Chain A
Amino acid sequence: MENEQIVTRLNTVWLGEDGIARIIHVPGAEVTLRDAQETMAAYLKLNKGKRRPLFVGTKSMKSIEREARNYFAGEEAAKVASAVALIVDSPVSRVLGNFYLGVSHPHLPTRLFSLEAEALEWLKGYLE
């Protein structure tokens, strides 16, 4: 059975059979607050109110504006997601990820990973 997926302007959101939600950004994404809100709406639509661990692919992401970072790090996100694994596989995405952790102080458990397998393994610990 093919899982339902929602494609937004900058990413694709779908729910894996392992119960982990995934958000994969297009290369070179420059994320604004509006994009962040659109992504959150897509995620909420898919998970049907259940808190899930979230796998976020930021490959080749170029930037994410401050308001968008604070939105993802805020209490609203913590209510609908149990943990976030950020895949950082480029110098830029790694810098963005580190700033996100160090400056935005997300309200839910968040870690940076280079390898997808490690990230998914860690997220399994947050399945509810």
Chain B
Amino acid sequence: MVEGISRVNQAHKNNGDQKLAEMLEVIFKYAAGDLTARGTLSEDDSALDGVMAGINILGEELQANVAENKRAHQALSESEALFRTIFDSVQDGIVLMDTQTRGFKMVNDSFCRMLGYSRDELVELRVDDIHPEGDIANIDRQIERHIKREIGLVPNLPVKRKDGTIFYADINSVPLQVKGATFLLAVFRDITERKRAEDQQRQVSLYVRSLIEADLDPLVTISVAGKIMDVNEAVVQMTGVPRELLIDSDFSKYFTDPDSAHTGYQEAFAKGFVRDIPLTMKHVSGKLTEVLYNASVYRSEKGAVAGVLAVARDITERKRAEQAEELASRDGLTGLNNHRTFYALLKDEIVRTERLKRPVSLLMLDIDYFKRVNDTHGHQAGDAILKEISDLLVKQARAVDRVCRYGGEEIMVILPETDPTVAMKIAERLRAAVERRPFDIGGGKTININVSIGVATYPLQVNSLEALVKAADVALYAAKQGGRNRVCRFEMDNAETGAGP
């Protein structure tokens, strides 16, 4: 019996040793890194089985933790790699600066490229090393303001490359607190290209401005809403209004006729341009300037009409010259072309005749007994008759004919492209018109007068301008000799009476 009990105990002991050995083996495997090891449990469900079960669970938990850590580490590595890729692929330079040491803790590839340093070189440098010496004090002030979050962006700061050359950057930064230390995360944007473009734009603007100002005529740009957007100095001079008051004001109010100005402006919008619209500009002093208004629309990049570019050309001098020319070419009493102009017109007509091979006829007209009119009714009456007869001849002549005062009471009528037969008919019509007309000599009195007319034709009868005038004179003389109040055609041997009273 005792022996039997002893055998059972011995069996338990052997079984317990075996379980302990297995436990140790599992634990050693864990220690060696094999967390998949598991111990077996016996059917007797002893305390050692309970310990073994606990060891197995520990193994499971350790295995799960290791797997979880591995996953977390993998995720962190991937995240870091992604961050690094993004960090380095950004076009702007990014730098993490320690605010205590002013040294660079982290820089991206773009920052290295911008400055020409390697990453290893840059992390050995300080802020002072990448800015011109003269700007360090300012940079330090800006950094302090960044740390206090007073500013976020510092534009246009000079940055020094490794080779000593300078470029300009806009620097955006934000302070970061990491484990009690303050860092500045700064983004450097190289603005070299932008500055170059801005400089070019400025040059273009200056060029355009100089072009605008170089134009002595008033030049103005007008918005779609009819407001002045820009003017040159000539506009200021012509209106007497300062530039700052002209800008954004209604352009039409500087003209005596704003409605016409508006009409021209709208026509420019409709057609794309307007040419030579006569307007009058007002100066604040009341002085008026006659101008010709020319305008063209200008368009935006997308082709939409952005406004109107208008030039008001001062035509004061031109009009003055035209008036002077008019005065010089006209007879003061009758308003007819004067003696000088007569010869100029006749000369032109002779040239035209040569070119077109069409004759030109000339009528020389003289008032009969004009001296007697002057003597009897006075010179004022004579002048009145001269004026009235001139008006009558202009009305009776054809539109192409030119009526000129030749001198005294002699009047010439140039008949372009007119042969002798037609010329005689016209001359007779003029003579008859004068004969029929009662002339007012003032004081309620009228008198009748007559005219004699000589007719000559180039080149049928004569071969020069002077000869044509002389021939008409000869014909006139013949008309006088023939009894006056008649028309005579020039004949080589003698004057021939064409018509009689």
Contact = CB atoms under 8 A, between A and B. Distances in A.
Contacts of A65: 60
A94 B53 CA distance: 10
A31 to B, nearest CB: 12
Nearest to B58: A99
A92 B41 contact: yes
B60 A92 contact: no
Contacts of A91: 45-51, 53
Given A60-B45, A91-B47, A66 B60 contact: yes
Given A63-B56, A103-B61, A94 B50 contact: yes
A95 B53 contact: yes
B301 interface: no
Task: Tell me if A's interface is mostly helix, strand, loop or mixed.
Answer: helix
A112 B45 CA distance: 18
A90 interface: yes
Contacts of B56: 63
B57 A92 contact: no
A16 interface: no
Interface in A91-120: 91-92, 94-96, 99, 103
A92 B48 CA distance: 8
Interface string B47-90: 11111011011001100100000000000000000000000000
B348 interface: no
A60 B42 CA distance: 11
Contacts, number: 39
Contacts of A28: 43
Interface string B24-47: 000000000000000001010111
Contact of A95 (B43, B50, B60): B50
Interface magnitude class on chain A: 10 to 19
A79 interface: no
Contact of B57 (A90, A94, A96): A96
Contacts of A92: 41, 45, 49-50, 53
A71 to B, nearest CB: 14
Interface string B188-216: 00000000000000000000000000000
B57 A103 contact: yes
A116 B51 CA distance: 24
A35 to B, nearest CB: 16
Contacts of A60: 45
Contact of A66 (B41, B45, B61): B61
B61 A63 contact: no
Interface in A61-78: 62-63, 65-66
A91 B48 CA distance: 8
Nearest to A65: B60
A19 B438 CA distance: 145
A114 to B, nearest CB: 14
Nearest to A66: B60
A63 B54 contact: no
A28 B53 CA distance: 12
A91 B46 CA distance: 6
Contacts of A63: 41, 53, 56
Contacts of A94: 50
A95 B39 CA distance: 14
A95 B41 contact: no
Which residue, of B43, B48, B56, has the highest number of chain A Cβ atoms within 10 A? B56
16 contacts: A60-B45, A62-B53, A63-B53, A66-B57, A66-B60, A66-B64, A90-B50, A91-B49, A91-B51, A92-B41, A92-B45, A94-B50, A95-B50, A95-B51, A95-B57, A99-B54
Given A90-B50, A96-B53, A96-B57, 5 more contacts: A62-B41, A62-B53, A91-B50, A95-B57, A103-B61
Interface of A: 28, 60, 62-63, 65-66, 90-92, 94-96, 99, 103
A-B pairs, 10 with minimum CB distance: A91-B50, A95-B50, A95-B54, A66-B60, A91-B47, A90-B45, A99-B57, A92-B53, A95-B53, A92-B50
